[in-house]
Amino acid sequence: MPHITVQMYPGRSDEIKAKLAKVLAETASRELGREIEHFSVSIEDVPQDEWTDKVYKKITDPDNKDVFVRPGY
């Protein structure tokens, strides 16, 4: 607890993903006042042709109260 999931288009290296995961875990740890050992981060590559169904429809749904920052596109 807690777990952070990032969904994005494929194409970034494992090195970049690892850096992002570390920064997200460190930031969440600081903001939530918990030790970093309590956090996990996964990164899911979602192909562009699957983005609308797997991600876009959920994150732009105004009734989805789980999304706190919505995209501006």
d(CA 28, CA 35): 9
For residue 3, give every residue at least 6 positions away whose Cβ sits within 8 Å of its Cβ, in sequence order, or none: 39, 40, 41, 42
> Is 10 in the active site?
no
Distance of CA 41 to CAs 16, 20, 51, 68, Å?
13, 9, 20, 18
**Which residue is catalytic, options 2, 47, 62, 71?**
2
Catalytic residue ranges:
2
